[in-house]
A and B are shown apart, each in its own frame.
Chain A
Amino acid sequence: MDMLTSKIFLRKTKRGKVLKVVREHYLRDDLWCGSDLCKKCNQENSEVLDDAPLSSSTLCACPHYVVVDTNVVLHQIDVLESPAWKNVIVLQTVLEETRKRSTNNFKKLKEIMATRKDNFYVFVNEHHKDTYVERNPGESANDRNDRAIRKACSWYQTHLEESQQGRDKKKKIQIILLTQDFKNREQALKEGIPAYKVDEYVKSLKDFPDLQEKLAASHSEDNAENREPLFPEHWAPTRIMTGIKSGKLLQGIFHCSRENFLEGSVSVEGQDKSILLQGHASLNRAVDGDIVAVELLPEDKWTSPSGIVLEDQEDQDPGDQIEKEEALLSNSAKGKDRQPTGKVVGIIRRKWRQYCGILLPSVLAEGTRHLFVPAERKIPKIRIETRQAATLSSQKIIVAIDSWPRTSRYPLGHFVRALGNIGDKDTENEVLLLEHDVPHHSFPETVLACLPSMPWTISQEEVKRREDLRNLDICSVDPPGCTDIDDALHFRELSPNLYEIGVHIADVSHFVRPDTALDKEAANRGTTVYLVDRRIDMVPELLSSNLCSLRPDQERLAFSVIWEVTPNAEIKKTRFTKSVIRSRRAFTYAEAQCSIDDPLQQNELAKSLRGLNKLAKIMKKNRMDKGALQLSSPEIRFEVSTETNDPIDVISKPMLDTNSMVEEFMLLANISVAEHIFKHFPECAVLRRHPVPPESNFEPFLKAGKTQGFTLDVSSNKALAASLDAAVKPDNVYMNTMLRILATRCMMQAVYFSSGTVAPVDFYHYGLAAPIILISHLPFAGLYADLLVHRLLAVAIGADVTYADLLDRKCVQQLCNNLNYRHKMSQYAQRSSVALHTHLFFRHRVQDEDAYVLSVRQNALQVLIPKYGLEGSIYLKEKDEDSKPAFIYNPDVPSQTCGNITIRTFDRIVVQVSLDSKYVQHQKIAVHLVQPQIAGLSVEAIKTVNDSEPIPKKLKAGK
């Protein structure tokens, strides 16, 4: 290190003052070039750049190393993933710029560099004494960086020249700059650096002809400038920043409406009400998730959500024009429901990712421009260019967005890869795992190496370290077919007035040691994901289904929480211990219920279950008295054919006493552990809280209650629970359940957090009415969070030692953020999996079912079919379609009236469910009205169920 320079720059503080920041910047002479042929650098054997590089480029036949500029990384990251790239120099300038401009691409680039570290070399040009360049007065940061990149190129050229004097001129290595920037390329050529456009170079790679498909669409050649713009211009970033500072603009996250693609909202931090956006021009090319800048309209222009259910249904590419949208958005109820309305004036940060979906069949099959329909409804269609449309049209594919110019109706993107045939269950499963970012690759060798070798037995020393509970009559109660038995229970009478109960949890932390490959993998996965027909494990199967499954008659390591309680469920003593247990039996909920109910059964286990059940009921009642909510979401289970693995029947999950019995004890264990850990580690206990929802969340719920004549009180969880209990209608038993379903949707998502980061008053769990709750919920294991809890608890009871990250508040919070994300995604994946199986189920069926109206919209009814836990829309009028009967919409109730029939929220109706096969590729469940009969709208009831598939004899239960 022999030189020093200062970087001086100006930075604005939060308070708006301008600061002069002086940072030291050291320049070094010990940074090497990474080339195998170099005789000057003092580098060890880590040379990445070949002595005699080969390339299949027809554009540049001489041996060369490639330098990519920032724009290539920002816009063509998918191309860089290809094995076609060898001998690539990534400059620090490019890395830094990428990091500043796109977290996603930065992460991807780092992944690419990590997996292909023999082909990508990072040259730290910003700290090299010969390649550092200072920003000239008046020079933009961008121009300075381009200059730094060119400087590094020419340095390499001269640096390598000295080591290859005497080489044949044709064999000398060239440094090639790939850039998308016209000016940079011109300048480079002027300075004698061979420079090419990246697409030109990629197209010239004759060994990788398909690679050009992955090139991001460039619209510049499309002479877009000559066409009429469809959208307003986005403001320049500086203008946006000034606007936000002055309060003229608001910054927030854009959410596209699930029901109406021409509507969306922007949630602004710290504001209760989100801002409504309506119409193409107001949405102005925002894509769901983007961070946008919005300008509020004057208050007299505010409107309310249209209440229209609208899908972008063009089944053909309409070209670059925008349909008339007045009709689609018209008659937004003016008046009291008006809310702040605005328009997007600029995009602060795009949150584009890769999307799964299908190609829309093109009129011109041989054309190269195609429309892609994402699986996620909230994402617009994407225009891509591909010559493989014929093969791709029957497949699910992945596409990335590149840009969305003003002149284009749809964003422009490029094809990334194909997943498999449409309708194929494996493909569809892959789609839903990818869409929800569920890591599901098989466990790598490094992870499997952390597992104990089989056959596995518990060593004598291990038994000595633990409490031996093998003599206790422990049993487990789980859903049928459960192979990962996480928890087990026991009960015994110590004296007539004192019982002992125990919850025993599989001791995963014994097998997953901190900081191992297994631990890191589990931390990243965060949770086990339960899909209808498969389970994506957080830890390898050997653990989840065997060593950490508390199987009957097998000795297992456990973590036990043991209480002494009175017959009134008053807790006298709580203790925690690591233990060895042997479960006597694995009950299903139904089997356990039988044992409890059958007076003939007088064995120990039956007696224990009865004791547990009695205590659980008392405990539950106590909790309810304190205001715990009994919420509802319909849960169903598929019966799956053993032969085809396709669903053949749907059963709603019965709620037995034993279900809530197990829940109650898990909750008790949870609270006890949470209190204990919090006492020992007030700063880094991993907890879960359920924030109190803001009052505005309850609006749709309150409105729905009003239509049925109930005034619901949401002032506290206790009041809510009471008014839910009171809202009963004898003639509509399901109404109460519906109300509970709606209430559930008003709740906030429970979140994991590290206790040091939140004030203790906010620990309260709203839904469960518990003062403090651990991060894990039910089931107790199968979440990485549980592992952390086990470790903390083990330390708290002196059974284990701490390690650094466990006690680092920040580390723990970071982990929690990942867990929150994974947890949310796993729930979405679960829902999608149910939807997928519903599709498969209706592939050969049409059925009439009872349904309830969830909400009444201006042009549709949203209905819930409890039997399938399925929601659908019945369109009352469609655009350009006057054939349907005239409904009169009353937004105040809300209700829809046609003749003498009026439909309101929560009304029971009969619907016909079938699979809409209008679009073979994009199948969806269709719901039609059967009853009440309305001429022109309702369909004929069917007497028989057409079931083209024979029902197989053997049934397998899906979890």
Chain B
Amino acid sequence: MSGTELLSDQGLRIDGRKPNELRRIRCSLGIFAQADGSAYLEQGNTKVLAAVYGPHEIRGSKSKALHDKAFVNCQYSTATFSMGERKRRPRGDRKSTEMSTHLEETFAAAIRTELYPRSQIDIFVEVLQADGGNYTTCVNAAMMALVDAGVPLKDTVVSCTASLVKDTPLVDVNHVEQSGGSPELVVSILPHSGEIVYMSLTQRFHIDHLSKVLDTAIKGCKDIGVILKEIMKGHLTKLDTSLQAS
């Protein structure tokens, strides 16, 4: 039995997408009344819930307070039922801590933190179902929740993965493609400025391929950005009409 082919001779990926096609994106905003902002985002079968609290006063130890800007606190967790095989710990493991740190750095760069000195913004993301691109989906979901919360942003942040199979770059890789062994590039950008705020690579690959994989990931970010913007607009119009109606 030969292994599955990640890219067929007919140019289709294992789930039927072309190399440059994103998975289906579905998103709803404002799903938690308790939070200041919230979003539920699906990219394919990767499903993430994000909630934003704040800006509010520093909770807990005051030493975290920054005198000139807001402190961004992120918590990344994975539901125990998110993977095929049950996970033991939802958060606090090395992987989750690392992801939380990356999220904090990313959003500290995107939020206009200087507007809220000595205060705190909490972003909670939870991966409900994991099927590849978990981190990127979290970034996108958190960003939507921030928009829902009305936290002022310098720019939106969008994130996307890319990989390489048979010299062809694939965008927005799913779990099967991810476990196929090819390197995975994760990129988060600020689409307006084009600035890359986060980039990571799961394993080494040759520098010759880097530029095309990076281009693919950036293009993916921009495509996701367009879709999310449509969703935001739709949400705002809905809010608008409901406000007018009331």
Contacts and interface: CB of A to CB of B under 8 A. Distances in A.
Whether both chains belong to one complex is answered with yes
Contact of A19 (B2, B84, B208): B84
Nearest to A7: B15
Contacts of A26: 15-17, 24
A801 to B, nearest CB: 9
B85 A122 contact: no
A24 B15 contact: yes
Contacts of A406: none
Interface residues of A, number: 36
A350 interface: no
B23 A24 contact: yes
B200 to A, nearest CB: 19
Contact of A122 (B1, B9, B206): B9
Interface string A790-817: 0000000000001111011010000000
Interface string A1-31: 1001010000101000101111111111000
Contacts of B216: none
Interface in A771-796: none
A804 to B, nearest CB: 3
Nearest to B208: A804
A293 B161 CA distance: 43
A100 interface: yes
A739 to B, nearest CB: 44
A106 interface: yes
B10 A22 contact: no
B175 to A, nearest CB: 9
Given A13-B85, A23-B176, A25-B15, A804 B2 contact: no
Contacts of A810: 181
A811 to B, nearest CB: 10
Contacts of A807: 204, 206
A614 interface: no
A843 to B, nearest CB: 45
A21 B129 CA distance: 11
Nearest to B210: A804
Given A17-B85, A802-B206, A103 B16 contact: no
User: Is chain A's binding surface mostly helix, strand, loop or mixed?
Assistant: mixed
Contacts of B98: none
A378 interface: no
A106 B9 CA distance: 13
Contacts of B85: 13, 17, 19
B159 interface: no
Contacts of B205: 804, 808
A808 B183 CA distance: 11
B156 to A, nearest CB: 25
A99 B25 CA distance: 32
Contact of B208 (A1, A6, A803): A803
Contacts of A11: 84
B16 A127 contact: yes
B16 A27 contact: yes
A124 B209 contact: no
A21 B1 contact: no
Contacts of A13: 84-85
A92 B16 CA distance: 12
Using C-beta atoms within 8 Å of the partner chain, give the interface range for chain B. Answer: 20 to 34
B206 A1 contact: no
B44 interface: yes
Interface in A799-843: 802-805, 807-808, 810
B239 interface: no
Interface string B37-78: 000000011000000000000000000000000000000000
Nearest to A4: B24
A24 B174 contact: yes
Given A122-B10, A803-B206, A803-B208, A99 B15 contact: no
Contacts of B15: 23-26
B34 to A, nearest CB: 30
Nearest to B86: A17
B21 interface: yes
Contacts of A21: 84
A81 B169 CA distance: 34
Interface string B1-40: 1100100111010011100010110000000000000000
Contact of A22 (B5, B17, B24, B45): B45
Interface string B194-231: 00000000001110110000000000000000000000
Contacts of A127: 12, 16
B153 to A, nearest CB: 31
Nearest to A11: B84
Given A20-B84, A23-B45, A23-B176, A106 B17 contact: no
Given A804-B205, A804-B208, A807-B206, A24 B44 contact: yes
Contact of B45 (A19, A24, A92, A100): A24
A607 B49 CA distance: 82
A25 B17 CA distance: 9
A4 B205 CA distance: 33
Contacts of B84: 11, 13, 19-21
A103 B2 contact: yes
Interface string B162-181: 00000000000010100001
A458 B21 CA distance: 50
Contacts of A802: 206
Contact of A106 (B2, B12, B16, B176): B2
A4 B44 CA distance: 10
A171 to B, nearest CB: 30
Contacts of B17: 1, 26
Nearest to A802: B206
B7 to A, nearest CB: 13
Given A13-B85, A19-B84, A19-B85, A804 B209 contact: yes
A103 B1 contact: yes
Interface string B70-105: 000000000000001100000000000000000000
B2 A25 contact: no
Contacts of A28: 16
B135 to A, nearest CB: 19
A808 B206 contact: yes
Contacts of A106: 2
B187 to A, nearest CB: 20
A28 B204 CA distance: 34
A804 B207 CA distance: 7
Interface core residue of B12, B24, B131, B176 (most chain A CB under 10 Å): B12
A124 B7 CA distance: 13
Nearest to A17: B85
Nearest to A804: B206
A732 B174 CA distance: 70
A956 B94 CA distance: 72
A23 B13 CA distance: 13
A561 to B, nearest CB: 27
Contacts of B8: 92, 124
Nearest to A18: B84
Nearest to B46: A24
Interface in A186-227: none
Interface in B136-193: 174, 176, 181
A1 B176 CA distance: 20
A92 B181 CA distance: 24
Contact of B2 (A20, A99, A124): A99
15 contacts: A1-B16, A19-B84, A23-B176, A24-B23, A26-B16, A92-B8, A92-B10, A110-B9, A124-B10, A124-B12, A126-B16, A127-B16, A349-B1, A803-B206, A807-B204
Interface of B: 1-2, 5, 8-10, 12, 15-17, 21, 23-24, 44-45, 84-85, 131, 174, 176, 181, 204-206, 208-209
Given A804-B205, A808-B205, 20 more contacts: A1-B17, A17-B85, A20-B84, A23-B45, A24-B23, A24-B44, A24-B45, A25-B15, A27-B16, A28-B16, A92-B8, A92-B10, A99-B1, A100-B1, A101-B1, A127-B12, A127-B16, A803-B206, A803-B208, A805-B206
4 shortest A-B CB distances, which residue pairs?
A: A804-B206, A26-B16, A127-B16, A19-B84
